[in-house]
Amino acid sequence: MLPDELRAAVDADRTREAGALFVDLVASYFQRTGAEDGPVSPTAGHLDQRPRLDEAMPERGLPLADVAARVERDFIAGANRLAHPMYMGHQVAAPLPAAVWTESVIAALNNSIAVMEMSPTGTAVEEQVIRWMCGLAGFGSGSGGTLTSGGLEATHTALLAARAEFQPDAWKRGIIGTPPVIVCGEHAHYAIARAAGELGLGTENVRTVPSDGWKMDASALPRVLDTLAAEKRRVMAVVATAGHTATGSFDDLAAIGTECETRGVWMHVDGAHGASALCSPRHAHRLRGIERARTVAWDPHKMMLLPLAAGAILARDERDLSAAFEQQAPYLFHGEAGTRSPDQGTRSFMCSRRADALKVWVALQRYGVSGLAALHDHTCALATTLHQMIGARRNFVALHEPESNILCFRWLPGDVHDEPTIDWLNLRLRERYNASGRGWITSTVLGGRRVLRVTLMNVRTEERHLEALLDGLTAEGAALVEEPA
């Protein structure tokens, strides 16, 4: 028998008052970050928060209010505050609040998307959202897809589907003979090399195409493919990137698509970052040619500003996804052989899975695709504005013109001209700036040089915050050069 006390505790936690404890935490986080109250990264300089939570497993429970207080004190207080307009770090959004609140509905219902009988409305919502996304990608009837944990999984799934086409019995027998090659740009995300490793192809069988302007030089692709043909190597897929991780720039999908069509090669588009531009009449042209892809990875949890996790894999022919996972599971999947299964689990890497599609659906219901496009365009416009501001400042130089919401630039500390020293100073400047609590940015290496990198994914960020960024970096830079050696 369940002890009365425990039953009462579970019942009490189901009430509106209990839920309000957590709603209050979130609303107050939104309110404080909105008012720009407090540092962007409260743990700056004390990144390792593990000691805070290093304690014995609780033997007995606490009142929910005490637990909520601990969440505030021991979790929220030490977390990076992405909702702060000065957070300009990695490609993770300050999520749209309507989607944040939806999370509790998804969790409360806990209908798993593995099979339709477990999640009738979840399956319907996911199918609908996927249909909308396929429509924007220019995929017609027969297309389909499924939500994923993110771009990494989506690209893995796409390459699994390409492997099934390359060698239809690979699922059972593994790759026979010399493994096929995957071709991608030199700045492509590590998802591709990782998939090559995971799929048993070997990372040495990823060949890269040189870049032009930090994206694949499409004119160099035929040469790479010719070289592989001369070596008698077969190509399993060419991966184009729509929204490069480092710079947010877009490969020429039309040119790459034409080359792939001519040679009968599978084109996968890693649009994890950039495919959301399809929502935007202003930016959709960046993805011209995407309809030629066999598969597309697209993360709504990036430029559609949704909370993690909401990724998606789209296939021009949905049957390619079923072929990727040749799985029988009579205890779960009940579809008839030869007919389309309504169970999304047959097309997914995952089994039990949240109805994350609901977040995408709610965001679309709340803002419409035009609203999401305007939010998307705002973040891209900020990057353009920052580029202009940098052009007007003596101590900064931009590495590229932004094609989306990402910009890489370098701090030039006046009287230092030695490039390796400037590299080191940029690295230290980022650390110092982030530790100051003024803001939060990232850095990367481009063309062998250390650069600062900003990703704008908060619709509450405005021009004045970009000025504050450059002022903050200038101030921290001045202090940095004064630091004792």
Ligand X SMILES: Cc1ncc(COP(=O)(O)O)c(C=O)c1O
Residues at the site binding ligand X, with contacts judged by CB under 6 A: 91, 150-152, 189, 191, 241, 243, 245, 270, 272-273, 299, 311
Of 301, 322, 320, 303, residue with least CA distance to 312: 301
Q: How many CB atoms neighbour CB 343 within 10 A? A: 21
Helix 253-263 and helix 221-230, axial crossing angle in degrees, nearest 10? 30
Q: CB of 154: closest distance to ligand X in angstroms?
A: 7
Q: CB of 278: closest distance to ligand X in angstroms?
A: 15
Q: CB of 307: closest distance to ligand X in angstroms?
A: 12
Q: Minimal CB distance to ligand X: which residue?
A: 150
Alpha carbon 313 to its chain centroid, in Å, reads 12
Of 90, 81, 92, residue with least CA distance to 299: 92
Beta carbon nearer to ligand X, 82 or 152: 152
Q: CB of 9: closest distance to ligand X in angstroms?
A: 37
Q: CB of 291: closest distance to ligand X in angstroms?
A: 19
**3-state SS record for 281-324:** CCCHHHHCCHHHCCEEEECHHHHCCCCCCCEEEEECCCHHHHHH
Beta carbon nearer to ligand X, 300 or 413: 300
Beta carbon nearer to ligand X, 243 or 402: 243
Q: CB of 454: closest distance to ligand X in angstroms?
A: 14
Give CA–CA dist 273/297, Å, rounded: 9
Beta carbon nearer to ligand X, 191 or 209: 191
Give CA–CA dist 195/155, Å, rounded: 8
Residue whose tokens read 């304690």: 55
Of 113, 108, 117, residue with least CA distance to 127: 113
Can you give the C-alpha Rg of the chain in angstroms? 24
Beta carbon nearer to ligand X, 113 or 170: 113
Beta carbon nearer to ligand X, 244 or 432: 244
Beta carbon nearer to ligand X, 153 or 343: 153
Q: CB of 455: closest distance to ligand X in angstroms?
A: 9
